[in-house]
């Protein structure tokens, strides 16, 4: 017998032919290059990169290897583009075949992603998507998964890449008692049930007269520029700030002198004069030594003022801190003032505006970012 013939009903099955993108128009090529470089959506960037690589003559297997994705995915992207053109760039979501990674595998992915690589015998302190993908495949947690699929799995599990935060442990033996005093004072002042007013006090700074980085609206790809060279002939300032919790009112004074106990006492006296002598003024401030000298304590006893200390390493309980956060965002970030006179005018203008428009959603949002009490 010779070779098998079609008369016997046998059909030869060949391997899939190489798939390449159709010829791109100049407009399509330009748009794909722009998407591959500038899009913030990973799936769009990857699809554009696949199409450009195919247009340059790379086969699907090579593209899959370089981009660390599945060869069938490469073929699918090329096929959809050949059929639908630029409209195919947006990945189709929903429907489709059942997921290949079951709940048991997802539980393992979650546990591994939340662990540090070094705890699992791997070098490094954090996972990248590439390293996590390789680990999952090497340890047979999954047979295959591309980076974008892995990203979606992590998002569905509530896991995202975030900056770590720091915290300090307070060794204050009166931690709970001081916390209770401060929170009770805030609650009473806001409810109007306290037999006096509560004022939060602290310093913000040191502040230098130099270009400060910030954000703004600019033409795409052409951000604003700040000069990087400056001199240090202007010294520094500190903002002495006070906040009336019940009245929701802010005061501030830029101080060019070194903040000593005498400077603090001078500012506190100015705040105290804003209220009748019969009104008790409760002042919340941190444990800086310049805040708690004998002169300041004696002044408080003689002027119907009470001093509330925050716990050590817990200055975040001082309500003035969240107002400093908004002040820095509105007055300092993105600035380049010519001199301290201009800076001082901007500071006082912000304080007046803040007290006038204290219900402004933008101001409230910034203040609430740091508001913990």
Phi, psi for 205 (deg, rounded to 5): 140, -170
Q: What is the pLDDT of residue 372?
A: 58
Residue 17 has pLDDT above 60, yes or no: no
Range of the domain at 295: 175-215+234-369
Q: What is the pLDDT of residue 351?
A: 92
Residue 98 has pLDDT above 70, yes or no: no
Task: Render 142-211 in DSSP notation, one character per residue.
Answer: -S---HHHHHHHHHHTT--------------TTHHHHHHHHHHHHHHHHHT-SSSEEEEEEEEEEEESS-
Per the structure, the count of domains in the chain is 3
Domain-embedded: residue 206 = yes
Residue 264's CATH number:
3.30.420.10
Q: What is the pLDDT of residue 114?
A: 93
Domain-embedded: residue 104 = no
Domain-embedded: residue 314 = yes
Asked if residue 141 and residue 29 are part of one domain, the reply reads no
Distance CA 60, CA 70 (A): 9
Percentage of the chain beyond pLDDT 70 is: 90
Asked if residue 317 and residue 343 are part of one domain, the reply reads yes
Domain-embedded: residue 4 = no
Domain-embedded: residue 278 = yes
Q: What is the pLDDT of residue 370?
A: 60
- Kindly report, residue by residue over 109-158, the tens digit of the pLDDT: 999 999 999 999 888 888 999 899 989 988 889 888 888 889 999 999 99
Residue 269 has pLDDT above 80, yes or no: yes
Domain-embedded: residue 129 = yes
What is the rounded average pLDDT of the residues 263-289?
Answer: 91
Asked if residue 353 and residue 211 are part of one domain, the reply reads yes
- Kindly report, residue by residue over 157-189, the tens digit of the pLDDT: 999 888 887 777 777 787 788 888 888 888 888
Asked if residue 247 and residue 124 are part of one domain, the reply reads no
Domain-embedded: residue 99 = no
Task: Render 14-81 in DSSP notation, one character per residue.
Answer: PPPPP--PPPPPHHHHHHHHHHHHH-S-HHHHHHHHHHHHHHTT--HHHHHHHHTS-HHHHHHHHHHH
Domain-embedded: residue 257 = yes
Asked if residue 345 and residue 271 are part of one domain, the reply reads yes
Asked if residue 242 and residue 314 are part of one domain, the reply reads yes
More confident residue, 345 or 87: 345
What is the rounded average pLDDT of the residues 228-241?
Answer: 84
Q: What is the pLDDT of residue 11?
A: 42
Asked if residue 187 and residue 78 are part of one domain, the reply reads no
Asked if residue 267 and residue 134 are part of one domain, the reply reads no
Asked if residue 201 and residue 334 are part of one domain, the reply reads yes
Residue 257 has pLDDT above 60, yes or no: yes
Instruction: Indicate the pTM of the whole model.
Output: 0.59
Confidence of residue 348 (pLDDT cuts 50, 70, 90): very high
Chain mean pLDDT for the chain: 83
Distance CA 317, CA 183 (A): 8
- Kindly report, residue by residue over 195-224, the tens digit of the pLDDT: 899 999 999 989 988 888 887 787 888 888
Asked if residue 187 and residue 140 are part of one domain, the reply reads no
């Amino acid at each position: 017998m010779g070779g098998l013939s079609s008369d016997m009903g046998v059909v030869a099955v060949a391997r899939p032919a190489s798939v390449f993108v159709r010829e791109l128009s100049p407009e399509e090529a330009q748009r794909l290059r722009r998407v591959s470089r500038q899009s913030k959506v990973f799936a769009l960037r990857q699809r554009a990169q696949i199409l450009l690589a195919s247009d340059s003559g790379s086969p699907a297997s090579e593209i899959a290897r370089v981009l660390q994705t599945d060869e069938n995915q490469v073929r699918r992207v090329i096929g959809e583009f050949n059929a639908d053109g630029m409209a195919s760039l947006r990945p189709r979501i929903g429907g489709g075949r059942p997921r290949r990674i079951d709940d048991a595998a997802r539980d393992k992915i979650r546990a591994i992603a939340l662990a540090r690589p070094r705890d699992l015998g791997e070098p490094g302190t954090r996972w990248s998507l590439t390293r996590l993908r390789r680990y999952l495949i090497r340890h047979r947690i999954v047979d295959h998964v591309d980076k974008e699929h892995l990203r979606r799995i992590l998002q569905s599990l509530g896991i995202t890449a975030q900056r770590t935060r720091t915290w300090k442990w307070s060794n204050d033996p009166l931690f709970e008692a001081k916390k209770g005093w401060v929170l009770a004072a805030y609650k009473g002042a806001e409810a109007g049930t306290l037999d006096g007013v509560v004022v939060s006090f602290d310093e913000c700074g040191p502040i230098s007269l130099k270009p400060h980085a910030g954000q703004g609206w600019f033409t795409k790809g052409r951000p604003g520029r700040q000069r990087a060279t400056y001199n240090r002939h202007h010294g520094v300032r500190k903002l002495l700030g006070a906040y009336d919790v019940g009245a929701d009112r802010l005061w501030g004074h830029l101080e060019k002198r070194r903040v000593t106990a005498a400077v603090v006492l001078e500012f506190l006296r100015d705040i105290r004069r804003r209220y009748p002598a019969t009104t008790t003024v409760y002042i919340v401030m941190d444990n800086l030594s310049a805040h708690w000298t004998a002169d300041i304590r004696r002044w408080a006893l003689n002027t119907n003022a009470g001093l509330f200390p925050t716990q050590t390493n817990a200055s975040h309980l001082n309500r003035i801190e969240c107002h400093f956060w908004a002040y820095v965002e509105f007055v300092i970030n993105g600035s380049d003032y010519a001199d301290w006179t201009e800076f001082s005018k901007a500071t006082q203008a912000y304080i007046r505006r803040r007290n006038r428009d204290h219900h402004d959603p933008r101001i409230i949002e910034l203040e609430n970012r740091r508001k913990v009490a």
